[in-house]
Structure 1
Amino acid sequence: MSKCDHSVFYHHSTMGIILLVMYVDDIVITGSDYVEISSLKSFLHTRLHMKDLGQLKYFLGLEVNRNKKGVLLSQRKYILDLLAETGKMAAKPCNAPMVPNMHLMKDDDDPFDT
C-alpha cells in the first residue's frame, strides 16, 4: 500500500510492477507484468465475482484516451455536463492558465515510497 494514498496498492514482481487503484467499488488494475495482472484479475473474479470491463475509458470522472504517443486524461464530459447544468453552453471559451501542450516526462526518481 502506498504511504501517501491508502487507495493505491502496488507490487513489484520479477517482471515489473502491478498497480491497483481502488475507490469505493471502482478498481483500476494496471502495470507492466501482464501475467501477474491476469492472475490478480482471475483471483478477484473468483473471490469477489468481479468482472473485467476491458480497457479503461473513464475513472472517477476522468476520461482516459490512449494512443501511440501516450495517455491523455481529460474531464471533457464533466465540463460539458457542468455547462449544460448551469445554462452556459453558449458561453465563449477563454484561455486556461496552464501551459498549452505541456508534456509530462518520465522522471528518474522512484514514483512510490517503498
Structure 2
Amino acid sequence: MSAIRAVTVILEDPSAAAQALHRTFGWTVDSDFGTFASLALPTGIPLWINAPAPGESVTGHLVLHLSAADVDAAFGQAVERGAVAVREPQDMDFGERSACVAVDAAPGLVFDFSRPIG
C-alpha cells in the first residue's frame, strides 16, 4: 500500500517561498538549495518547493488544508505575520469552521485553516 510521502509545489523562487512560509506558519526549513526547498510540517508530511523546469508552469490554484484547533486564532496570527486574508473565519454549510490566507511569495496557493464544528 502507498501513502503520501510529500507534497510538491512548483514556484518561481523556492527559497523566498520557504522563508515566507517559515515566517507565516512557523514551519521548519529543512533544506534550501535555491531551486529546491523542503519544509517540515507538524503532520510529518513535508512540503517540497521546486523551481519550474524549462517550459514548466508554476503551481496554480492549490488549496492546502491546515488543521487548526482555533481557526480564528490561527488566521489572526498568520495575518499578523504577513499573510493576506482571502476569507475571514466563518462556519461553512458543510460543517467546518474555515478561514483562508495567501502568502505573496507563494502565488497560486491558498492556505485554509479549518476544523469540524461541534
TM-score, normalization by structure 1: 0.25
TM-score, normalization by structure 2: 0.25
Task: Give the strand-richer structure, 1 or 2.
Answer: 2
Q: Which has the higher relative contact order, 1 or 2, with Cα contacts under 8 A spaced 6 or more apart?
A: 2
Q: Which has the larger radius of gyration?
A: 1
